[in-house]
Amino acid sequence: MVDVPRELVQYVARLLYAERRARGTRRNTRALTCFYQALLVLVWFRKAEDVTLLGAGFGISRATAYRYRDEGVAVLAAQAQDLHTALRRVAADGWSHVICDGKLFDCDRLTETTTSVKGDTIDAWYSGKHRNFGANIQAVMRPDGLPIWTSPAMPGHLHDTSCARQLGITAALNWSASQLDLPAVADSGYESTGHGIKTPVKQPTDGGQLAPDNRAYNRLLRGLRWQGERGFAILIGRWRTLRHTTVSPRRIGDIVAAALHLTHFEYKYLPESC
């Protein structure tokens, strides 16, 4: 038993069927039908089941279960729209702005290292801010909190601003503000990323108080930004496998993108082509 609509299982099964046809897979050569493979993938997303036990429940080997899961993640992640297309759709739907935010998705400790800006050797996937290992995922949300796009995984030691710049997110958001009249609001971590991204005014370094206009501006931004936290809560609350993953952190971006596509189906937000 899994608490997802049967229509969602059938939708994922159709995507898997199309993938099998594209690969030239012959009929009756797979251990599971498309429907049961889709069910396996959804159980893993929804319940974060151990893949070995999950495969045993479906009567397949451990290796086959991993292969079927990975195939399902790849097929779902491939349906994701690019950021510019997602922003155009939000603007066409009449929304006034979008929300940009980042989150560290928890993963196991890794031995991969990198060099910090100070020249020290550090853990590439360790976030000093969160004091935990994980992948930095950037997301763009509608004003009501529904995520419309998520980024590839970036090492956890990177700051939100660095991730957004390296992935071209700041450029896309500044473009949408100038061309689509669709500005973005973000927290102070995105300061100085462009006029199209509105961030709070920081407190004076001399300890003085902000001017009344700046305090009102910050309060207004807080009233708009809080839905960004809801966007990540929608994904993590619904798809339990996002709470902690043991796969390579570089693949977390695909897993989150796949979960986002499942969320769009449940919220009836799929593109018309789907």
Q: pLDDT band at residue 274, thresholds of 50, 70 and 90?
A: low
Has residue 188 got a pLDDT over 80?
Answer: yes
pTM of the model: 0.91
128-151 mean pLDDT = 92
Note the pLDDT of residue 148: 96
Sign of CA dihedral 131, 134, 139, 143: negative
Q: How far is residue 27 from each of residues 20, 30, 220, measured CA to CA in Å?
A: 9, 8, 58
* DSSP state letter for 107: B
Dist. CA 20–CA 27, nearest whole Å: 9
Percentage of the chain exceeding pLDDT 70:
99
Note the pLDDT of residue 154: 93
Note the pLDDT of residue 129: 83
pLDDT tens digits for 73-113? 999 999 999 999 999 999 999 999 999 999 999 988 777 88
Note the pLDDT of residue 2: 81
Dist. CA 181–CA 119, nearest whole Å: 41
Average pLDDT, the chain: 91
- As given in the structure block, the two tokens for residue 269 are 């937000």
Selection from 65, 70, 66 nearest residue 32 by Cα: 65
237-255 mean pLDDT = 92
Dist. CA 264–CA 260, nearest whole Å: 6
Has residue 204 got a pLDDT over 90?
Answer: no
Range in 54-68, 132-146, 164-178, 190-204 the model is least confident about: 190-204
CA 38 from centroid of its chain's CA atoms: 21
Angle between helices 62-77 and 34-47 (to 10 degrees): 80
Dist. CA 40–CA 155, nearest whole Å: 29
Question: Alpha-carbon dihedral of residues 163, 166, 169, 175, nearest 10 degrees?
Answer: 150
Answer for the pair 173, 190: CB distance below 8 angstroms, yes or no. Answer: no
